[in-house]
Amino acid sequence: MRSGSTTAACAALVRRDLTLVWRRRGDAANPILFALIVVALFPLALGPEPEQLRRIAAGVVFVAILLAGLLALDTLFRSDYEDGSLEQLVLSPHPLSLLLACKIAVHWFTTALPLIIVSPLLGELLHLAEPLRGLLPLALLLATPLLSLLGAVCVALTVGMHRSGMLLALLVLPLYVPVLIFGAGACNAAQAGLPFAAPLLWLGAALVLALVLAPLACAAALRISLS
Amino acid sequence: MPPTSHDSGEPRDRPALLEARGLAYARNDEPVFGPLDFTLHPGEVVLVEGDNGAGKTTLLRVLSGLLAPTSGEIRLAGEPLTLARLSPQVALLSHANGLKPELTAIENLRFAAGLLGLRSGLSPTTVLAGVGLAGYDDVPTRKLSAGQKKRVALARVLLAPVGLWLLDEPYANLDRDGIQLVNRLLENHANRGGAALITSHGAYAYTSGTPRRIPLRADANRSRA
């Protein structure tokens, strides 16, 4: 008898989650469509003047991507909870926080990364200012993993409840607000010609902290949800 | 508190695979079961009997480590079970099969093998054939019947290199052949030194030999509340 290594377990989990995303690829496009629709509505509502749109572009893209991520958040543990796979994950001999970190990474990779890739297009819809074309994806690259990690803890807490959508939003939004302020703040500062490194560094520091702590909190929260 | 005689190599007499002392669980101050005292030695199959709502499933979840007992102690192979570090020696079959409907039977088993490890000499394909599903390797699990899903879930338990099986209603949804299959699997597992705790509401009991029984009664719990 041999028990598999933790690396093998993580690899198996990543492979399974990627396969599942591929099999449900119709759902995977939802966040992108949502963000595209939100951003496309702004010029229709505000009028097409480039100057006006340029002023709000970075903020609107940030908010659209944040909300799209919120939309996809509930799928992180929902199906695993309902079909009992989550129990098997908890009962495996490997550190639960590490397995969850893998799950969160796959979730970020399949929901947030596509959004970052289309973010230049979203920016273009709003006449995003020239100096922000590189900065916006960079800020998103720092902010979205942070959103995924913080969100995962809240999803883990609420996964045991039916119709937890509203509660999840209430739990998550206060945690998301600082990320939004720093991320969009960096873009706004750059647009105004001010130094923008500080908010980005804050995001990076928070990301490092969340990378270490969020999987642990997530594991503890899931154990509570399953009991 | 360090576990006793942990570092002295092989203990002279093998410790019980599972030992419960004064085990009780209460939900919102309402007792669900217990206090229970029992041990499970290698080679034993024990039947947990009780009506619906008697706490059979809860008992299995407590023993697997998913729920913390209200009072009492669980020892797995001599070491206390804590939520922080679950034992790698338990396989649980619960009502939710833990299978992904989008994945094929073999993909589900490969994932389980990656997560829990593989009993030596077995592979997902051979195990699937062993539960009577040869040729179903590439069928998505959602297209299988409830009984076939149960068989895949049993195959997952079979794959894991663990000594203790906790099977919640393993006979549910199974046909006559399936029931015999479960009995055969349990017998083999017991013969190679494993142990199993299975629940049943009495309809299809374990038939090989005379298993020990742990009766749970719903009424007794309620009147004590």
ipTM field:
0.85
Domain count, chain A: 1
Please state the length of chain A. Answer: 227
Same domain membership, residue B170 and residue B139: no
Count A/B contacts: CB-CB distance under 8 Å: 99
| Cβ-Cβ contacts under 8 Å, A13 against chain B | 111, 114-115
Between residues 124 and 183 of chain B, which touch chain A (CB distance below 8 Å)? 156, 161-162
- Assign B117 a pLDDT band (cuts: 50, 70, 90): confident
Contact B195, B77 (CB under 8 A): no
- Percent residues over pLDDT 90 in chain B: 29
Q: Does a structural domain hold residue B221?
A: yes
Residue A117, pLDDT above cutoff 50? yes
Q: Domain range for residue A50?
A: 24-226
Same domain, B152 and B167: no
Asked if the Cβ–Cβ distance from A19 to B98 is below 8 Å, we say: no
* CB half-sphere exposure, B204, CA atoms < 13 A: 16
Query: Residue B44: which H helix or E strand, with range?
Result: none
Question: Interior CA angle at A9 toward B162 and B18, to 5°?
Answer: 20
Whether the pLDDT of residue A210 is over 90: the answer is yes
Could B114 and A89 be called an inter-chain contact, meaning their C-beta atoms sit closer than 8 Å? Answer: no
Q: For B68-175, where are the alpha helices, taking DSSP H only?
A: 105-116, 124-130, 146-159
Report for A1-10, A179-188, B7-16: range of highest mean pLDDT: A179-188
Q: What is the pLDDT of residue B14?
A: 65
Same domain as B176, residue B197:
yes
CA distances (Å), B95 to each of A23, A27, A210, B92, in order? 25, 27, 35, 10
Mean pLDDT of chain A: 92
**Domain tally for chain B?**
2
Q: A173, A204, A172: which is closest to A186 by C-alpha?
A: A204
Q: Are B105 and B156 in the same domain?
A: yes
Angle at B31 between CA B25 and CA B33, to 5 degrees: 60
Q: How far is A206 from chain B (nearest CA, A)?
A: 26
More reliable by pLDDT, B218 or B15: B15
Mean pLDDT, range A151-162, rounded to an integer: 92
Residues B77 and B170 in one domain: yes
Q: In Å, how far from its chain's centre is CA B74?
A: 15
Verify that B171 and B81 share a domain, yes or no: yes
pLDDT of residue A102: 96
Calpha distance B8→B6 (Å, rounded)? 6
The pLDDT, as a whole number, for residue B208 is 60
Quick one: pLDDT at residue B1? Answer: 38
Q: How confident is the model at residue A171 (pLDDT cuts 50, 70, 90)?
A: very high
- Max Cα-Cα span within chain B: 52
Q: Does residue B41 sit within a domain? A: yes
- Best mutation target among B62, B85, B116, B165 (most A Cβ atoms within 10 Å) is B116
What is the pLDDT at residue A4? 67
Tokens of B20: 């419960």
β-pair partners for B198: B47, B167
Give CA separation, B61 vs A30, B9, B64, B198, in Å.
36, 31, 5, 12
Could you say which of A19, A94, A226 has the minimum Cβ distance to residue B103?
A: A19
Average pLDDT of the segment spanning B62-90: 79
Range of the domain at B32: 16-89+163-225
Taking CA–CA distances from A11, the nearest residue in chain B reads B114
- Measured in whole angstroms, the distance separating CA A6 from the mean position of its chain's CA atoms is 25
Chain A positions touching B162 (Cβ under 8 A) are 1
pTM of this structure? 0.88
CA A149, CA A151: separation in Å to the nearest integer? 5
| CA gap B5, A2 in Å, rounded | 23
* Per-residue model confidence (pLDDT) at position B104: 94
> Does residue B149 sit in the same domain as residue B45?
no
CB B189 within 8 Å of CB B209: no
Q: Is the peptide bond before B35 cis (omega within 30 degrees of 0)?
A: yes
Asked whether residue A21 carries a pLDDT value surpassing 50, the answer given is yes
Which tokens sit at A137? 């994806």
Least confident of A103-107, B71-75, B160-164, B198-202: B198-202
Number of Cβ within 10 Å of residue A49's Cβ equals 11
CB contact under 8 A, B98 and A2: no
Instruction: Report pLDDT for B13.
Output: 58
User: Does any domain span residue B216?
Assistant: yes
Instruction: Kindly indicate the confidence band of residue B162, based on its pLDDT and cuts at 50, 70 and 90.
Output: confident
pLDDT interval class at B204 (50, 70, 90): low
How near does any CA of chain B get to the CA of A69, in Å? Answer: 23
The pLDDT, as a whole number, for residue B27 is 87
Nearest of B195, B118, B198 to residue B164 by alpha carbon: B195
Tell me the pLDDT tens digit for each residue of A48-96: 899 999 999 999 999 999 999 998 998 899 999 999 999 999 888 888 9
pLDDT (average), residues B1-24: 61
Q: Which residue numbers of A have CB closer than 8 Å to B's CBs?
A: 1-4, 8-9, 11-13, 15-16, 19-20, 23-24, 79, 82-85, 87-94, 223, 226-227
Give a yes or no: residue A64 inside a domain.
yes
